Chain A
Amino acid sequence: MVSVPSAVDGLAPAAYAAALAGLPGVGPGWLVAVLAERSPRDAWAAVLAGEIGPPVRGRPRPGAHEWAGAAGRLDVAAQWDRCRRAGIGVCWPGSPGYPEVLGQGPAPAGVLFSAGALDGLGDRRRVAIVGTRRCTPDGSDIAYRLGHDLSDAGVCVISGLALGIDGAAHAGALATRREAGDHGSVGGGEVDGHGEVDGPGVGGTVGVAASGVDVVYPRQHAGLWREMVRVGAILSETPPGHPAQAWRFPSRNRLIAGLAEMVVVVECHSKGGSWHTVEAAIKRGVDVGAVPGSVRSAASVGTNRLLHEGATPVRDAQDVLDALGVFDVRRARPQVPGPAAPTCPTSASGPMRTMEDAVLAAVGWRPLCLDEVVERSGLPLAAVVIALERLEERGALGAEEGWWVRKAH
């Protein structure tokens, strides 16, 4: 009988759960299996004693001693201290704060680390908005809008904090938080980070990371990450301080699908991480919606295939709310600015208007660059740029990266 080292004394159970998750080669399957039988403290003691070994095909192998040494060198107290100082929460199946939805279905979550407020996640409606990192500007715009409108309708927006669609969806959801906060603050001053009150209908946003919750990945999202921790929450199965390994991404995607009541794919290519999320959602019986795109756009190949295979078509937040059965939303479909905005002082009539019509007719639904607009309209460049400016002011056209496209109303 190996004596239990003194390190196992005097720390919260969460400290041992965190330590278990940080063992080399450990995945959620092992953690779930181990923590189903023992408390975190007992499990840690058993690891030190060599009673529980490294996972073999995800399951613990009993009676392996070679792991005990590695585990013994791990400073549980220091790691726990680091978590506490960074305000990182730890939960595991059965512990308070563990999202019940993640404990159900295939491949439940093991030890979860969280930054930010996760409270009441189970009470809110939850929709995942996912998609490709290589999105079109239109795609990121749609994701932003969806995130914004869903959060505004009280739905929690879940995504993966990645570049492209994910980031845009989070940003949209965060914007509603800011708007709600701004309304709440008196005198128009800065919103205080801690005094913020959730707007009545704001659903907020939760990001599921593949790296540790304190390891920003991708770097470009450092600002988003900070804001997410401040007003939303970030979840991860990866212990703090650990970078994202390749296998963590599909694993992270299953958590996104597990948390959500519906997964909306905004744009995805024929291959990519979004498909992992979709597969995980189908396995769990979670609804999958997809935003239709041009059949010519490579970034919409995946979503269009999903639609063909029977996914729910999603044009805007209302379609998602309808699919969720949320009918008591304060807000109806967003008001689209009419074709003749009264605020535009320069909107012309007569010959100018016909010029605009000609240019509008020339710009199709496929993005055209200025060159093509000039050629199609047959008008001189000066006339075309003036007409484009007016049309953009009216909201009839949008320009992305110098590509013009008509806007739907």
Chain B
Amino acid sequence: MLATVSSATLVGVDGHAVSVEVHVSNGLPGFRVVGLPDTSCREARDRVRAALISSGFNWPQKRITVNLAPSGLRKAGSGLDLAVALGVLAADGQIGTVPLAGLAFIAELGLDGSLRRVPGILPLVAASGEEGVVVPPSCGREACLVGRVLTKTAPTLMALVQALRGQAPWPELPPGPEPVEAPTAPDLAEVRGQPLGRRALEVAAAGGHHLLMVGPAGAGKTMLAARLPGLLPALSADQALEVAMVHSAAGLDVAAGALCLCPPFRSPHHSASAVSLIGGGGARLRPGEISCAHNGVLFLDELAEFPAGVLDNLRQPLEEGRVVVCRASGTVAFPARFMLVAAMNACRCDADGSPGSCRCSSAARSRYIARLSGPLLDRFDLRVRVPRPLVEDLLRPAGPAGEGPSEPSATVAARVCEARGRARQRGAPANAQVPAWRLDDVAPVSAGGRRLLERRLREGRLSARGLDRVRRVALTVADLAGDEPPLGEEHILVALALRAPGGEGPGAWQEPVASYGTAAEARPW
């Protein structure tokens, strides 16, 4: 006797439809799973057996073969339990002619016959390829996010069989928690002073540029970064679904009730390993922090404390917007289009970085900076110094809204939204993602700006890559100001100022290799 039940399994962040074929025949009693199951998949046997017996069914004393098709695909996790159990019941004829077609079943079984949640419900449901899907009640709301698929739930195997037989109505979807307001990001109005840091944050949000903040401890770098999600425009429904899929696959809580349109903000601690950041892991390749930050912000506080090798892993994803993780068990591509925001001290002694304030030897200083590779440093379009705020700023009493120099997030977010709108009209979601060959079209430079850039280039204070980046940032600055291209001198100067400290590339951060030559060469800062 043969029964076929639909289900799905997770590979990376993508779901794949799996057809569970169960064959029950006479012979030596036994249970065998074929079709590349992993350990937790193989253990289905014991869970299913106990669940069937607990639910009042018989465990057939026959030869049971379970094939997970397509058999070339590795299956991981316990989400196939329910499908296997129903397959056994159907093939053994214990539930008669119950219509199983048109439904996919995704749940882990408890020994008592209850249905339990599995990670990645969202991509699993999206991939099931059936009209309806049966999931555990706790995942019901999450599964609904997919839309187009009819979601049904049942608390136990017995309840499910009764509903399938038509002996009982399908249980109501449990009411999801009230659609939560997007967690309100802290407001920019709380940040005192920091005109440059605020400006850099605004430009980063508007253009999708990567941002590095350098400053002493307690200057407010982390505080600024935490306010970035409040400035970013809300995600589109498609983007939000992508984010939810990744989060679901990573086993994170996906906001039940409605898609969270707030861009994700991830801030891993600097003890993070390369795998936790990039993705990978055991039998099931899990997305890493950079994928969890997809369509959002990855904030690396204390950047220089991250192991150098871990950081250099970021270079390729930063360029490509996705990361391909290859393991013996398979190759998986994770989405990873994120905005990188980082904060670090100027040097180990935590001086404010002003000339002469540092107590470190030049060797110690260059060691500290050398932990960041030049290419990584170069990826940051915006590099700003965040000094300690002025005492007057700190002690100024907070006035009612709209008073004082500290703008609230809402005002800035409105400008950002408008600037992004301009960028979209030009055909790219953000200025950081404009293809290089289109830059001349969308960001022509005025004569004054050209003179300025030419001088910087000739003086060696701007590199070729730097030029590209400066033009993009200048375009964002113009967008924010509501100016049309060509880019004027003021836009380019602001872009250059936001690309400080000092100069170009990693050389601007390191001791001059040979402090000799002309006066300018002697200190290429």
Contact A381 B494 (CB under 8 A): yes
Question: What 1/0 flags go to A146-190 for Cβ under 8 Å of B?
Answer: 000000000000000001100110111011000000000000000
Question: What 1/0 flags go to B282-322 for Cβ under 8 Å of A?
Answer: 00000000000000000000000000000000000000000
**A279 close to chain B: CB less than 8 A:** no
In the bound complex, residues from chain B placing their C-beta under 8 Å from that of A172 are: 519
In the bound complex, residues from chain B placing their C-beta under 8 Å from that of A385 are: 490, 493-494, 496-497
**B117-125, B161-169, B180-188, B190-198 - the one binding chain A:** B190-198
Contact B501 A141 (CB under 8 A): no
**A230 close to chain B: CB less than 8 A:** no
**A399 close to chain B: CB less than 8 A:** yes
| Residue ID in chain A nearest B490 by CB atoms | A382
In the bound complex, residues from chain B placing their C-beta under 8 Å from that of A136 are: 355-356
**CB within 8 Å for A369 and B354 given contacts A137-B525, A402-B385, A402-B500:** yes
In the bound complex, residues from chain A placing their C-beta under 8 Å from that of B385 are: 369-371, 402
- Most chain-A Cβ atoms within 10 A of its Cβ — which of B481, B502, B512, B523? B523
Contact of B514 among A222, A369, A382, A403 (CB under 8 A): A222
In the bound complex, residues from chain A placing their C-beta under 8 Å from that of B359 are: 298
Contact of A297 among B356, B386, B489 (CB under 8 A): B356
Give bound CA distance, A299 to B359, whole Å: 9
Contact A375 B390 (CB under 8 A): yes
**B261 close to chain A: CB less than 8 A:** no
Contact A369 B356 (CB under 8 A): no
Give bound CA distance, A319 to B519, whole Å: 21
Contact of B502 among A223, A388, A402 (CB under 8 A): A402
CB distance from B1 to the nearest CB of A (A): 76
Contact B502 A401 (CB under 8 A): yes
Main SS of the interface on chain B? loop
**CB within 8 Å for A386 and B490 given contacts A137-B523, A141-B519:** yes
**B358 close to chain A: CB less than 8 A:** yes
Give bound CA distance, A167 to B514, whole Å: 9
**A312 close to chain B: CB less than 8 A:** no
Contact A220 B515 (CB under 8 A): yes
Query: In B304-356, which residues have CB < 8 Å from any A CB?
Result: 353-356
CB distance from B189 to the nearest CB of A (A): 17
In the bound complex, residues from chain B placing their C-beta under 8 Å from that of A375 are: 193, 195, 390, 393
| Residue ID in chain B nearest A175 by CB atoms | B518
**CB within 8 Å for A163 and B355 given contacts A144-B522, A381-B195:** no
Give bound CA distance, A25 to B517, whole Å: 38
In the bound complex, residues from chain A placing their C-beta under 8 Å from that of B491 are: 382
Contact A137 B355 (CB under 8 A): yes
**CB within 8 Å for A381 and B501 given contacts A164-B362, A367-B354, A386-B489:** no
In the bound complex, residues from chain A placing their C-beta under 8 Å from that of B355 are: 136-138, 297, 367, 400-401, 403
**CB within 8 Å for A382 and B493 given contacts A164-B362, A400-B523:** yes
CB distance from B377 to the nearest CB of A (A): 15
**A224 close to chain B: CB less than 8 A:** yes
Give bound CA distance, A385 to B361, whole Å: 32
In the bound complex, residues from chain B placing their C-beta under 8 Å from that of A171 are: 515-517, 522
In the bound complex, residues from chain B placing their C-beta under 8 Å from that of A276 are: none
**B14 close to chain A: CB less than 8 A:** no
Total number of residue pairs linking A and B with CB closer than 8 Å: 139
Question: What 1/0 flags go to B466-497 for Cβ under 8 Å of A?
Answer: 00000000000100010000000111011011
Contact A371 B197 (CB under 8 A): yes
**B387 close to chain A: CB less than 8 A:** yes
Query: In B188-210, which residues have CB < 8 Å from any A CB?
Result: 193-197, 199
**B513 close to chain A: CB less than 8 A:** yes
**B418 close to chain A: CB less than 8 A:** no
Contact A403 B354 (CB under 8 A): yes
Contact A381 B522 (CB under 8 A): no
**CB within 8 Å for A371 and B195 given contacts A136-B356, A220-B513:** yes
Give bound CA distance, A297 to B354, whole Å: 10
In the bound complex, residues from chain B placing their C-beta under 8 Å from that of A213 are: none
Give bound CA distance, A403 to B356, whole Å: 11
Give bound CA distance, A134 to B477, whole Å: 37
- Most chain-A Cβ atoms within 10 A of its Cβ — which of B195, B357, B359, B517? B195
Contact A174 B515 (CB under 8 A): no
Give bound CA distance, A382 to B488, whole Å: 11
Give bound CA distance, A224 to B361, whole Å: 21
**B511 close to chain A: CB less than 8 A:** yes
**A389 close to chain B: CB less than 8 A:** yes
| Residue ID in chain A nearest B455 by CB atoms | A393
Contact A134 B362 (CB under 8 A): yes
Contact B494 A382 (CB under 8 A): yes
Contact B386 A381 (CB under 8 A): no
Contact A221 B525 (CB under 8 A): no
**A372 close to chain B: CB less than 8 A:** yes
Give bound CA distance, A216 to B353, whole Å: 30
| Residue ID in chain B nearest A221 by CB atoms | B514
Which 5 interchain pairs have the tightest Cβ spacing?
A: A402-B501, A171-B516, A297-B356, A136-B355, A224-B516
Additional A-B contacts beyond A134-B360, A401-B501, A401-B502 (4; CB < 8 A): A137-B525, A138-B356, A220-B514, A389-B493
Interface, chain A (partner B; CB < 8 A): 133-134, 136-141, 144-145, 163-164, 167-168, 170-172, 174-175, 220-224, 227, 294, 297-300, 346, 366-367, 369-372, 374-375, 381-382, 385-386, 388-389, 399-403
- Of the A-B pairs whose beta carbons lie under 8 Å apart in the complex, a sample of 17, sorted by A's number, is A163-B362, A164-B515, A175-B517, A221-B515, A297-B356, A298-B356, A370-B196, A370-B385, A372-B387, A375-B193, A381-B195, A381-B199, A381-B494, A382-B493, A389-B452, A401-B501, A403-B355
